[in-house]
Amino acid sequence: MTGLSGQTSQNFKQGGLSRIQEKNRNLILEAALSEFSKKGYSGATVERIAADAGMSKSNLLYYFSSKEAIYKETLAHILDVWLAPLKTLNPDGDPAQELGEYIRQKIEMSARFPEASRLFANEVMQGAPQILPILETDLKRLVTEKSQVIEDWIASGKIRRVDPVHLIFTIWATTQHYADFSVQIKALTGKDLSDPDFLKETEASVTSFILHGIGLSGPQESD
């Protein structure tokens, strides 16, 4: 998970934490992601998270009151980071470049943060008991906003008529497949996204499939 917790969530900043306190919270989130992704919520323990973070249990509980609080913050932070590329989709940009870059960033995140993707997928498959309110509010608003961007591109004749929400779902499903099912992918191909050549091949193929499906050329293709 190296790098994921470095993108400090807004509520941390609002808490007025010192640099050391912020560093400790990030260490806890890194350790928690590893623990929850391997053991699940029920199998994870605060003691192991504290040990992996290099601190005592009592020190950890200064930052988070319970295992549930750590789990919720971990999931919320994953969602913040995972959705950041979608937030940058520019309505004034070229659709092929905007969507191509979005797909590329999503695949890169699957390569860099596979544990985060798998933990989030497991939470959702269980009915999203901890983050359903976020899905129904913040995420829904973002998807509605970016669906309108795609709808405007359609209305102006820039892309083929598709359902914007299903296009977003397709990008999510296709790109995160490489994190959530990496064991299967490696068993079948002998490779995964840690292989630079396979990563480039994946980015090119997935981008081409999706953009061609909505009537666009890939970012390195001529119209």
Q: What is the mean pLDDT of residues 159-186?
A: 97
Q: pLDDT at residue 200 above 90?
A: yes
Q: pLDDT at residue 161 above 70?
A: yes
Q: How many residues does the chain have?
A: 223
Task: State how far the Cα of 209 lies from the Cα of 219, in Å rounded to an integer.
Answer: 12
- Residue of 43, 5, 46, 12 whose CA lies nearest to 26: 5
pLDDT at position 217 is 81
Please list, residue by residue across 133-162, b when 16 or more beta carbons sit within 10 angstroms of its beta carbon and e when fewer do. Answer: ebeeeeeeeebeebbebbbebbeeeebeeb
**pLDDT category of residue 18 using cuts at 50, 70 and 90:** confident
Task: State how far the Cα of 219 lies from the Cα of 200, in Å rounded to an integer.
Answer: 13
Q: pLDDT at residue 3 above 80?
A: no
Q: What is the mean pLDDT of residues 186-191?
A: 97
Please provide the average confidence, as pLDDT, over all residues in the chain.
90
Over residues 78-108, the pLDDT tens digits come to 988 889 999 999 999 999 999 999 999 999 9
CB 131 within 8 A of CB 72: yes
Q: pLDDT at residue 14 above 70?
A: no
pLDDT at position 219 is 56
CB 90 within 8 A of CB 125: no
pTM for the predicted model, two decimal places:
0.84
In the chain, the domains with their CATH numbers are 10-67 (1.10.10.60), 88-213 (1.10.357.10)
